[in-house]
Structure 1
Amino acid sequence: MIKNIPITFKSVGLSALSLALPMAIVSATTIGNAHAADTKQKAALYDIAASISPERIEDDITTLVNFGTRHTLSETESDTRGIGAARRWIKSEFEEISSQCGGCLEVYFQSETISGEKRIPNPTEVVSVIAIQRGATDPGRYVIMSGDIDSRVSDVMDFTSDSPGANDNASGVAGTLEAARVLSKYKFNGTIVYAALAGEEQGLFGGRIMANQAKKDGWRIKAVLNNDMIGNIEGVNGVINNTTARIFAEGTRVTETEAEARRRRFTGGEVDSPSRNLARYIDKVADQYIENLDTMVVYRLDRFGRGGHHRPFNDLGYPGIRIMETNENYTRQHQDLREEDGIKYGDTLDGVNFDYAAKLTGLNAVTLASMAWAPNPPANVSIKGAVQPSTTLMWDALNEAQNPQLKGYKVYWRHTDAPQWEYSKFVGDVTEATLENVVIDNYFFGVASVNNDGVESVVVYPGPAGSFGE
């Protein structure tokens, strides 16, 4: 017997609605799909994925490798070698991209002098390159893609030896440049930032500088996509695979208060932090728009004993994840160039698969575009339904001036042991929805905003544990 689930909605200035939905068809792929046909923006997302060029990525990685070393402490005056030449070239590339789109990018160096650190003992200017593509209606809302400029060999303080850094991390910088080339041809509601960050190998300094400045400037950051090694397909474990990628996403935010922790203990949210739901969003993007790519969401900040430039943003409470290859080859990471026992060591061009790097770049580009076209994620999402045969979700109406593209909202739910959202219902332009006969104790819930083309925001889990902020 098919059991009906009545759903009631509370609208903003509209009469309440009531619908009955067959439980048998309540799934994220079959129910309430008011936007089943590809719309203009959804079609554009496929075009964006297809426009990423492996050849351009190869050219950019080759150029970066040819600077010899990009160590944070390396040469800054030369035009052909060292970190100074590399960052000036990256800036010139962003400026060229901007010239092709009528000055649509704000390009600048972001720097701070660091000293007295274990890996930067003497005063050193750590300089990142930032390019900002301002949103048309909500420029204060940001999504960020980043890669790391610097490279290293076995000795982290060796700033003179050749350190090609082809995969770690010229691949991430090249991907960021390529995403800018493709996305700069479009206009978005929210702001997209392309960042080539410095000082990663010496202590995540570029990310720290940028995150602190963003907080000071009041950026409403909804996503940080850190790309660190996106070109290797041959693992040290012998696996060769170009069809998978990892997304590292931390759980409970480090900025959580004691009161919020007590609330989370009873209401859940350990696996529904903004970073985790951002990872689920990217996983869904991969399934929908990127051919032959399956992403693995890893419930961890990063790999064991390792770090990346998303962490400084996570440290301040922003949603941030790391996108990277699934199978690492440690003989090609942080190694002096040499051959021992028939094994070649070093991060050189022959260890990069450019088609694979393009695939992961496409994943980034589509995610950025989708989030920038979508309305702001719902704010102040709350939930009720204890000892009731129903569950009610509530949220604030979005700012109309910032989100003129808003069509309405979509309620999601899943079993508590399910990794991805399973069920959903588009509920319209309302601020409250009740799922009758869906018991609150048996599921996790969330809400996403939807634009007129059917492009959705990230799903937001109720309460402070899942909040993406205003």
Structure 2
Amino acid sequence: MKYSVFLLLVSCTVFAQKQSKDDEVKKYVSQVNEDSLKSYIGKMVSFGTRHTLSSTDDPKQGISAARSWVIKKFNDYAKNSGGRMEVYLQQEDIQPDGKRVDKSVNLGNAVACLKGTDPDDKRIFLIGGHLDSRVTDVMNRTSIASGANDDGSGVSAVIESARILSKSSFPASIIFVAFSGEEQSLLGSKQLSEKIKRENLQLEAVLNNDMIGNPKAGETGEVNTRILRVFSEGLPYKDLDKKAIAIRNLGFENDSESRQLARYIKEITEQYVKGLEIKLIYRNDRFLRGGDHTSFVVNGFPSVRLTEYYENYDHQHQDIRVENNKQYGDLPEFIDFKYLKKNVSANVAVLANLAKSTSQPEKVEMDVKELTNSTTLHWEKPKSGMPAGYYVLARETDSPVWQKKIFTTGLSVKIPLSKDNYIFAVQTVSQSGNPGVPVIPGIAK
């Protein structure tokens, strides 16, 4: 690394550097439309129930009618893609399991894949939400289960993202999916994640949106339209027994790939979406519960859950009724569409930056030959794309977010910061200025 850059690091002027917003990403974010979101949720509610075990042959009611409508929306938007968006229904006949499936049923995920423009770029980024809904009894497939927020709000984010980004030409690919079977034990997401694993696809990020539209707490009535939670695992679920000793020895308990993705979401969202803060939650999901991203976590893919700051249990998993002058049920009237719009905008900003970024640097390593109060990192160019350069990131070990950032066009850097006190990472920067997800270094041999 050049001595001049080293001096800049010491003075910390480069540490304060801010990346500018990408005009194309800004344009996409500005296109998120509140009326569109209302129309999507209104249509989903009109299917009566979207329970996974509901009718699969009624053209107007039930899960089959709902997923056919999502497929139609995807096909409408595919017309904008110049033939690059493939739309399909991923189906599987599943049998009773003695738990939450008591009859054979056709399970279907509505999927749209927007193929990247660079044939050498195999990266895939996925946004999902679950289409199925439920009431108090998880096996009740006949009562009206509006599912406006759980998870009509998440599916509305998927559909709106597909509408807007179908017009893009990103080097990497994006999958848009409305899962079925979430309430019956994550069945649809298991089906898709296992397919992606079998086919050895390069899935690098999963954004699972589940309940992102209701900002009001049930017990206290508090309202928070400024915060969106992002849940991420710390210790990686897959192959933890093989990785645990190295993670402990290096102090990387807070630096899984999913957690790097969560930090990335925070940085990008707060740059592009006014009035929205990302709250990093150091759990894979809410306490003792799970969501569709967990199916991908289990298979080793970086995956997070995006969800509102408060859950309102009066309007989640409830029969629609009035008791003591209080309305229960997951109805559209309890959605704050301005809050929902901000949360959908966050997804669009993150997906666009990810898909426009250059793939990750290869063989990011830290030299440990000598005990010093400085740190030397080196890496190799990414497999696809031509980056404009790289950001080298640093944060104190107790900091939840990256605190220091420098830019270099080289493939190594010496930083006057101690490995005892800081965690480091390297991320690519594309020619259009879009950063990739940071990569934590390994130990150089």
TM range, smaller chain: over 0.9
TM-score by length of 2: 0.95
Larger RCO: 1 or 2 (CA < 8 Å, sep 6+): 1
Residues 21-58 of structure 1: CA distance to partner in whole angstroms, max 9, x if unpaired? 1534346433xx6xx555xxx01222211110010010
2: distance between equivalents of 1:69 and 1:191? 32
Q: Does 1:20 align with 2:4?
A: no
Question: Where in structure 1 are there 5+ consecutive unaligned residues?
Answer: 1-7, 10-15, 465-470
Match in the other structure for 2:53 = 73
Letter paired with 1:420: V
2:283 partner SS? coil
2: distance between equivalents of 1:231 and 1:351? 8
Match in the other structure for 2:189 = 207
Letter paired with 1:210: L
Letter paired with 2:89: F
Match in the other structure for 1:144 = 126
2: distance between equivalents of 1:46 and 1:18? 31
Match in the other structure for 1:277 = 260
Match in the other structure for 1:182 = 164
1:454 partner SS? coil
- Choose the corresponding residue for 2:67, options 87, 110, 120: 87
2: distance between equivalents of 1:459 and 1:292? 25
The answer to whether the 8 Å contact 1:27/1:422 transfers is no
The answer to whether the 8 Å contact 1:83/1:150 transfers is yes
Q: Does 1:131 align with 2:119?
A: no
2: distance between equivalents of 1:26 and 1:210? 46
Residues 145-174 of structure 1: CA distance to partner in whole angstroms, max 9, x if unpaired? 001010000000000000000000111111
Matches within 5 A, 1:446-465: 446-463=425-442
Q: Does 1:97 align with 2:84?
A: no
Against the structure 1 CA distance between its residues 120 and 103, is the aligned structure 2 distance closer, same or farther, given a 3 Å change threshold?
A: same
Against the structure 1 CA distance between its residues 312 and 116, is the aligned structure 2 distance closer, same or farther, given a 3 Å change threshold?
A: same
The answer to whether the 8 Å contact 1:26/1:423 transfers is no
1: distance between equivalents of 2:224 and 2:141? 33
Match in the other structure for 2:101 = 120
Q: Does 1:417 align with 2:401?
A: no
2: distance between equivalents of 1:245 and 1:257? 29
Matches within 5 A, 1:208-357: 208-236=190-218, 237-357=220-340
- Choose the corresponding residue for 2:346, options 334, 355, 363: 363
Match in the other structure for 1:467 = none
Match in the other structure for 1:433 = 413
Shift of 1:390: 1.8
1: distance between equivalents of 2:38 and 2:283? 30
Question: Where in structure 2 are there 5+ consecutive unaligned residues?
Answer: none
The answer to whether the 8 Å contact 1:208/1:313 transfers is yes
Shift of 1:305: 2.4
The answer to whether the 8 Å contact 1:226/1:310 transfers is yes
Q: How many residues are aligned here?
A: 439
Match in the other structure for 1:4 = none
Residues 419-452 of structure 1: CA distance to partner in whole angstroms, max 9, x if unpaired? 1100111121x332221x3211110000000111
1: distance between equivalents of 2:271 and 2:113? 27
The answer to whether the 8 Å contact 1:391/1:440 transfers is yes
The answer to whether the 8 Å contact 2:121/2:385 transfers is no
1: distance between equivalents of 2:160 and 2:417? 45
Q: Percent identity?
A: 36
The answer to whether the 8 Å contact 1:384/1:393 transfers is yes
- Choose the corresponding residue for 1:59, options 26, 39, 43: 39
Shift of 1:408: 1.8
The answer to whether the 8 Å contact 2:8/2:14 transfers is no
1:48 partner SS? helix
Residues 303-330 of structure 1: CA distance to partner in whole angstroms, max 9, x if unpaired? 1122110000000111000001101110
- Choose the corresponding residue for 1:373, options 356, 359, 364: 356
Match in the other structure for 2:136 = 154
Q: Which moved more, 1:302-311 or 1:383-392?
A: 383-392
Shift of 1:280: 0.6
Q: Does 1:442 align with 2:421?
A: yes
Stretches (4+) displaced over 6 A: none
TM-score by length of 1: 0.90
The answer to whether the 8 Å contact 2:228/2:279 transfers is yes
